[in-house]
Structure 1
């Protein structure tokens, strides 16, 4: 399980780290639309929301599907500019200019990628030229409510008009709240980018990726990067290079841009409060499955209070020792119980700290 980036044959100098004011604005809009995803930003969200102009707030709702579910690839336009790898702009205005370099087909497909998912990661016809895909996109938009239905219809009928609308909206957000936010965040992000660049230069890609997140690993022999997620993406090739972009507002989201024909981008939270060694999604799924059985839930109730031998558990729960052993083995394999020997007896006990972290691990895993 996870998302893969093929880097076989990729030269080291083609892996770069850079900050993006437009990508961070996308995360700011996402945090404002989904504050429950980002409890650590509660103060910032409350402050921005309190002073937000009502007209701008209404416009934010008009197209929030571009950043509510996650944020659209439109906020990473440098990855899709024709002609190869293009670095992010140094200013928001420069990056808005990069959006203008995308074709209408790319602009529309990127805008609807999450909420009207028809094709992603593989080549296919454009929504602007394929009548069947257009009809399906409008159906999916209507199912998500009148705001998205109206916006999607306008987008498909007149992409240049929506380009103008989006640019003006983002400029207004910059004037209303984002310029101040970016002035505070860009120094931190730039420092993180310099640190990761230095790791790349001095210690190599494996060390740099380990510093990005424990959920990102490198298989050097296979020439592949794996991002541990509760999904299996189609995979992507980094023929044109790989770009790492830090975000200060993004935790717990760890995202991979893998659109066909675009440069892969790993968008990662800088200075994230992740555990030193968070469980993989495979371990997390194992733990959730282990706890889902009613007998094992009853065993956990006992093991949370004290340590017990297999025989004691069998007697207390009216089961045979082999039956108890199978359930205990499942809990132990999932990392939920500890075992210690005292003389000729083996005692089992629930690892309460692991169970207490489970909800946080699960939330981080599904939002990653």
Structure 2
């Protein structure tokens, strides 16, 4: 499964690397709403949440579906404004001005995209003008609580008033905590964007993608492919919004790799800046292969022994009561998944569970599904 972006013939100058203060604020709000996704930010989320005034905390809860569990495209509004050529604003105020340029239909559709994911790629009508879409948005919001349902109803009834309300909310967040956070992060993010742009210039797109994330690759069909637990297809060649693609670095968004691939929007890859102390997670395919390998009860039994020490096939046959061909087949499956290591001792080949890989499987699984 993957989200692919068609870049056939796209010139390098149409590929933009730039931080976005509004997108980073969205990540900060997501971290506050879902701190379990961001173990490296526990100190920041705990201190920030404790310092929020009750009124601001209540308002954040009302609108929290804009950044949790999903991430609304309105937080990267520059991708829908042709005049921006894929460039985010330099300040939060500038990005909020860009957000104000979206018409009500596009704003509402993007704000409520959690209720219309089935039409995300194809670009269905806005819930503002589509009665079935409106009803679906209200039903989905109701499942998240009465305050979210009421907020959604007000957004559908009076978009200008709620848009002004959201802008004030984001401005209040900047004043309360984000200005200091952005001041601390913006230099690092700008430096990372410059570094990736230099890689693109001097070593090509494939090298730049490899440095951005192991989940990104350049295919032979002229596409950028993002290893995700979903399927999607976008184009960076839409003349209506301007050909190009934007890469936005984030510190607070780790481990999420977000790909904006909505119809009628310029594609955006919102990538986490590497944390030097954290290992890069394997691909979704490898994680799935390892989980499937361990799901078989006989392989689970083998893992019990292999976790304790190194065993030859002959020894495993004796302790688990399987035939030698059975044991060999199961060991082959586990080895292909990277779960078992082998070494030769004389005429025997010894097998052992890779404890480091097994210990990381839970965190790799979470990184894969959260990416």
Q: Shared fold (TM-score greater than 0.5)? A: yes
CA contact (8 A) 1:16 1:243 kept: yes
2:287 to 277, 284, 287: 284
User: What corresponds to 2:240 in structure 1?
Assistant: none
Cα distance in 1 for partners of 2:74, 2:147 equals: 19
TM-score by length of 2: 0.95
User: What corresponds to 1:316 in structure 2?
Assistant: 319
Cα distance in 2 for partners of 1:80, 1:193 equals: 21
Q: Which runs of 5+ in 1 are unaligned?
A: none
Matches within 5 A, 1:139-154: 139-154=139-154
Question: 1:263 Cα deviation (Å)?
Answer: 0.4
C-alpha distance 117-274 of structure 1, shift in aligned 2 (>3 A): farther
Q: Deviations over 1:292-325 (max 9, x none)?
A: 1111111001111121122211111111111111
Matched, 1:198 2:201: no
**2:225 counterpart SS class:** strand
Cα distance in 1 for partners of 2:277, 2:225 equals: 18
**1:282 counterpart SS class:** helix
User: What corresponds to 1:137 in structure 2?
Assistant: 137
CA RMSD of aligned residues (A): 1.5
**2:282 counterpart SS class:** coil
Question: 1:85 Cα deviation (Å)?
Answer: 2.5
CA contact (8 A) 2:18 2:190 kept: yes
2:353 to 340, 350, 353: 350
Question: 1:150 Cα deviation (Å)?
Answer: 0.6
User: What corresponds to 1:300 in structure 2?
Assistant: 303
CA contact (8 A) 2:10 2:244 kept: yes
User: What corresponds to 2:217 in structure 1?
Assistant: 217
CA contact (8 A) 1:65 1:115 kept: no
Q: Deviations over 1:140-198 (max 9, x none)?
A: 22122112211111111111111100001001111111111111111111111111111
**1:114 counterpart SS class:** helix
Q: Which runs of 5+ in 2 are unaligned?
A: 238-242
Question: 1:82 Cα deviation (Å)?
Answer: 4.4
Question: 1:118 Cα deviation (Å)?
Answer: 4.4
Q: Which moved more, 1:269-278 or 1:114-123?
A: 269-278
User: What corresponds to 1:167 in structure 2?
Assistant: 167
C-alpha distance 275-330 of structure 1, shift in aligned 2 (>3 A): farther
CA contact (8 A) 1:6 1:238 kept: yes
